[in-house]
Chain A
């Protein structure tokens, strides 16, 4: 295959990836009060990695992000099960969540909720499953 120089796409990617990843993190963290959450944030992060895959080939991306996405999926499922099952330790029903208000030095008052950890599990599962599907199809020759 002929090597082509795709310098416009490669240069713009360096700026665009920050936008996309930052926005996906914003979507993930804003999910409790605004539209968003783990699913759409995970899909957007997977979209950023797909943009990397479009620009470079699959081996380069594996070197940039040395991650096994099946393990990411497993970690996400463990987080989801762990946060739901840990409520059993406090003698309350399965999937009972708690929240508290915390005063942080710079950010001010923040409400921390255990549902965020559950959402983080959803986020990991979505990123892992999407990237596993795309990489499995991409590697097929």
Chain B
């Protein structure tokens, strides 16, 4: 039983660390702000959640200590991290950061242009 739990804990911590690494490579390699944010906000969130879950399982099974703050941290990160990614992307788009030159779709462009024309007409 303990061996299985230890295996799961090791898997969770290592998978989380691997996801951090993938997120870092994504931030370095991807071409523009939006794709970089896509890599950072998704992979890093899941990585942190894996590491926190592994830590929680370690303290629960090995030390016999139920740490509810780690559960709260997992829920809190799951709520906040996509929102911060959304806000950064939104701020970047509103301040006019260009998309990657090989992007094929920009559905927000016409709406954004119309909004800017309306606000300049006022």
Chain A positions near chain B (C-beta within 8 angstroms): 2, 4, 8-9, 12, 15-16, 19, 23
Q: Which residues of B contact A23 (CB under 8 A)?
A: 69, 72
Chain B positions near chain A (C-beta within 8 angstroms): 69, 72, 75-76, 79-80, 83, 86-87, 94, 115, 119
Out of B72, B94, B115, which one reaches A19, CB within 8 Å?
Answer: B72
Q: Which residues of B contact A15 (CB under 8 A)?
A: 79
Return 16 A-B CB contacts under 8 Å, by A number.
A2-B115, A2-B119, A4-B94, A8-B83, A8-B86, A9-B83, A12-B79, A12-B80, A15-B79, A16-B79, A16-B80, A19-B72, A19-B75, A19-B79, A23-B69, A23-B72
CB distance from B112 to the nearest CB of A (A): 12
Tell me the dominant secondary structure on chain B's binding face. Answer: helix
A9 touches B79 (CB 8 A): no
Q: Which residues of A contact B69 (CB under 8 A)?
A: 23
CB distance from B88 to the nearest CB of A (A): 12
Question: Which residue on chain B has the smallest CB distance to residue A54?
Answer: B87
B72 touches A12 (CB 8 A): no
Q: Which residues of A contact B119 (CB under 8 A)?
A: 2
CB distance from B79 to the nearest CB of A (A): 6
16 further interface pairs, Cβ-Cβ under 8 Å (given A19-B72, A19-B76): A2-B115, A2-B119, A4-B94, A8-B83, A8-B86, A8-B87, A9-B83, A9-B87, A12-B79, A12-B83, A15-B79, A16-B79, A16-B80, A19-B79, A23-B69, A23-B72
Question: Which residue on chain B has the smallest CB distance to residue A3?
Answer: B119
In whole angstroms, how far apart are the Cα atoms of A19 and B77 in the complex? 11
In whole angstroms, how far apart are the Cα atoms of A26 and B80 in the complex? 20
Question: Which residue on chain A has the smallest CB distance to residue B122?
Answer: A2
Question: Which residue on chain B has the smallest CB distance to residue A23?
Answer: B72
In whole angstroms, how far apart are the Cα atoms of A113 and B79 in the complex? 37
CB distance from B86 to the nearest CB of A (A): 6
In whole angstroms, how far apart are the Cα atoms of A23 and B83 in the complex? 20
In whole angstroms, how far apart are the Cα atoms of A2 and B79 in the complex? 28
The 5 closest A-B pairs by CB, nearest first: A2-B119, A12-B83, A19-B76, A8-B86, A8-B83
